Amino acid sequence: MTCGKKGPVLLQDTLLLEELRQFDSERVPERVVHAKGGGAFGSFTVTHSEIANYTKASVFSDVGKKTPVFARFSTVAGELGSADTVRDVRGFALKFYTDDGVWDLVGNSFPVGPVRDAFRFPSMVHSRKRNPKTHLPDRNAFWDFISLMPETVHQMLFIFSDRGIPDGFRFMHGFSINTFKLVNAENNAVYCRFHFITNQGIKNIEPDVARRIAGDDPNYAIRDLYNAIESGEYPSWTMFIQVMTFEEARNWYHDPFDVTKVWPHKEFPLIEVGQLMLNRNPDNYFAQVEQSAFDPANVVPGIEASPDIELQGRFFSYIDTQRHRLGSNFFKLPINRPLSKPVTPTERDGESVHDDNMDGSPNYFPNSYSNAKTDKNFNEHSFRVTSIPDVDRYDSTNEDN
């Protein structure tokens, strides 16, 4: 709306103003790590019953049980505009829409992490990002941090092996990295690590070819995943677990909760669980991939946290960064919601409410007006601390590397 055909725009042109306002606010902050990635929907099907001996999680209750899944794959250090074929760890994050709520398993393409203490994680990430002065990638910072942190060597050996440049997302494994606790129907518990072995086989890219693809098609991995699913070549992975008893954990020769170390398959063999298959592409990338928010603290009855220090740091960091990116009600976005609506009297209001906000029901619990009750099935497994160690800041830099 202008004053004459070539005249100035009127402030009352609200249609123009709204168009510009919407355009100005289209972007949300990118993830500080795992910024660039692709995603797909599919399902997980239980094929073996042995896991039911270790966990009461409904997702594993019966052979043949099928659970909807959303998967997001990513590079770690790169930004949104970076290339998919750089030498890096790949993110392997799964969101299971189980009968008991959302279970997020937030893993990587290697079985080990870079640092065992969450306190060092921000510095590790900063060393792989841009120099604060030049705003250029700084290999000196990367190697400086690595040289001072011997615990990083195990992951570095994976990164600088052939598996450091996988041929897209379909031809790589996935690992929980962290240790979790499984609790069965008799309230007996064991420790566990999850593995997803690609059924397509491992396939990697030669460094020279990867550099060429980075220039010709920087979205190579995202394109490959999308095209494979569109053409009916559905990628799949076989899920396994490793199990360690509490007694074995006490007597194991190194810290079994250290993410920089693996559990040897000879002592802790892989137990087959089921099949993960991806067979549907997102309808909208922003709504379903960019707004997907993973949190390792999203567990369901039968799956719990272990004393893993790095995992416990992730519990805070992931939900905190999602609130920064997507607002305080990110968990109510369609991609992040459970299949059935939970009764959460105290989780309401705040920025961008995406549902009915619990209508007019009481915003406190317990109350005398609703039928909401605490489900004891969601209570955590109890455990005893037999001796109370000194509270201190312990330096694990040179511990059992």
Active site residue 140: no
Collect all residues with Cβ–Cβ distance below 8 Å to 359 and sequence separation of at least 6. Answer: none
Q: How far is Cα 334 from Cα 256, in angstroms, rounded to an integer?
A: 37
Using CA atoms, how far apart are residues 249 and 308, in angstroms rounded to an integer?
12
Residues in the chain: 401
Helix axis angle for 309-326 and 121-128, nearest 10°, is 60
DSSP structure string for 176-203: --S-EEEE-TTS-EEEEEEEEEETT---
Hey, what amino acid is at 135? Answer: H
* Token couple for 306: 């272990």
Tokens of 110: 């290697």
CA distance 313 to 297: 10
Catalytic residue among 53, 108, 173, 377: 108
Candidates 34, 154, 173, 195; catalytic one:
34
Q: What is the CA radius of gyration of the chain?
A: 23
The answer to whether 37 and 73 have CB atoms below 8 angstroms apart is yes
8 Å CB contact between 115 and 260: yes
Is 336 marked active-site?
no
> At CB < 8 A and 24+ separation, what contacts does 226-235 make?
226/38, 226/40, 226/281, 228/170, 229/40, 229/278, 229/279, 229/280, 229/281, 230/281, 234/42, 234/277, 234/278, 234/279, 235/169, 235/170, 235/198, 235/199, 235/200, 235/277, 235/278
**Coil, helix or strand at residue 150:** helix
Phi, psi values for residue 24, rounded to 5°:
-65, -25
Active-site amino acid positions:
34, 108
